[in-house]
Amino acid sequence: SAVISQKPSRDICQRGTSLTIQCQVDSQVTMMFWYRQQPGQSLTLIATANQGSEATYESGFVIDKFPISRPNLTFSTLTVSNMSPEDSSIYLCSVEVPSGNTIYFGEGSWLTVV
Amino acid sequence: RKEVEQDPGPFNVPEGATVAFNCTYSNSASQSFFWYRQDCRKEPKLLMSVYSSGNEDGRFTAQLNRASQYISLLIRDSKLSDSATYLCVVNQRNTGFQKLVFGTGTRLLVSP
């Protein structure tokens, strides 16, 4: 398994501002993923982040709104830019464990935009 | 049509009951399947993988029917601690990248 730490765990932000969420893993992993879970909804993949290459975004998500960094094999950041109340959500970092076909999640970052 | 469909519930059952959840998926090229459990205001946690031959882990049994594109989860002897949302998850691996597609979840409430 993997231990995944996310910061901040929760935040309340003003609309129009940006927030960067950090994800730290206790082991080196090739693939990291960022998901969003809006209130009452299931998880939706935002993008896949591999070290040394640009993130791959899913349909409906763009780099200008959700820029991602992946400077090394244990760390990634997701920025939610120019926030609006519609961005209020849980943002989850996840990793694929190299030894198996399994994905683990961080505890999530609960974002409320007012 | 949603890629992964589940009955949202809630399923209200007494302790000790047996309960079954079903899930269907639309992409026949899906390669692997999972059940995740999500407690209120917590992250999803892997409950079990699902194999065509069926697999069992204690009180939990998962089945996959590729021909019908159907996945099930059976919980026997329900405990209060089983109360949670159960997410059906399909892995649509594409060009080497994992892509997990989540159902909206089935909520289970186990009462004394």
pLDDT for A112 beyond 80: yes
Partner B contacted by A42 (CB < 8 A): yes
Convert the pLDDT of each residue in B94-109 to its tens digit: 555 667 899 999 999 9
Q: B9-13 — which CB contacts under 8 Å span 24+ positions?
A: B9/B106, B9/B107, B9/B108, B10/B106, B10/B107, B10/B108, B10/B109, B11/B106, B11/B107, B11/B108, B11/B109, B12/B109, B12/B111, B13/B78, B13/B108, B13/B109, B13/B110, B13/B111
Judge residue B67's burial from the number of C-beta atoms within 10 Å of its C-beta, 0-12 exposed, 13-18 middle, 19 or more buried.
Answer: exposed
Partner A contacted by B55 (CB < 8 A): no
Helix (H) or strand (E) holding B49: strand B45-50
Give the gap in angstroms from C-alpha B79 to the nearest C-alpha of chain A: 24
Convert the pLDDT of each residue in A34-80 to its tens digit: 999 998 888 999 999 988 788 999 999 999 999 999 999 999 999 99
Q: What is the pLDDT of residue A1?
A: 75
Q: What is the pLDDT of residue B94?
A: 59
pLDDT interval class at B76 (50, 70, 90)? very high
pLDDT for B10 beyond 70: yes
Chain centroid to Cα A104, Å, comes to 13
Between residues B52 and A35, the one the model is more confident about: A35
Least confident of A61-65, A103-107, B11-15, B56-60: A103-107
Q: How far apart are CA B106 and CA A94, in angstroms?
A: 22
Would the CB atoms of A43 and B99 count as touching at under 8 Å?
no
Partner A contacted by B92 (CB < 8 A): no
Give the gap in angstroms from C-alpha B89 to the nearest C-alpha of chain A: 10
Which among B34, B87, B91 has CB closest to A42? B87
Is residue A47 a contact partner of residue A66, using CB atoms and an 8 Å limit?
yes
Would the CB atoms of A105 and B43 count as touching at under 8 Å?
yes
pLDDT interval class at B2 (50, 70, 90)? confident
Contact residues on chain B for A31, CB-CB shorter than 8 A: 97-98
Which among A43, A104, A107 has CB closest to B102? A43
Contact residues on chain A for B104, CB-CB shorter than 8 A: 41-42
Would the CB atoms of B102 and A44 count as touching at under 8 Å?
yes
Would the CB atoms of A102 and B46 count as touching at under 8 Å?
yes
The rounded percent of chain A whose pLDDT value lies above 70 is 96
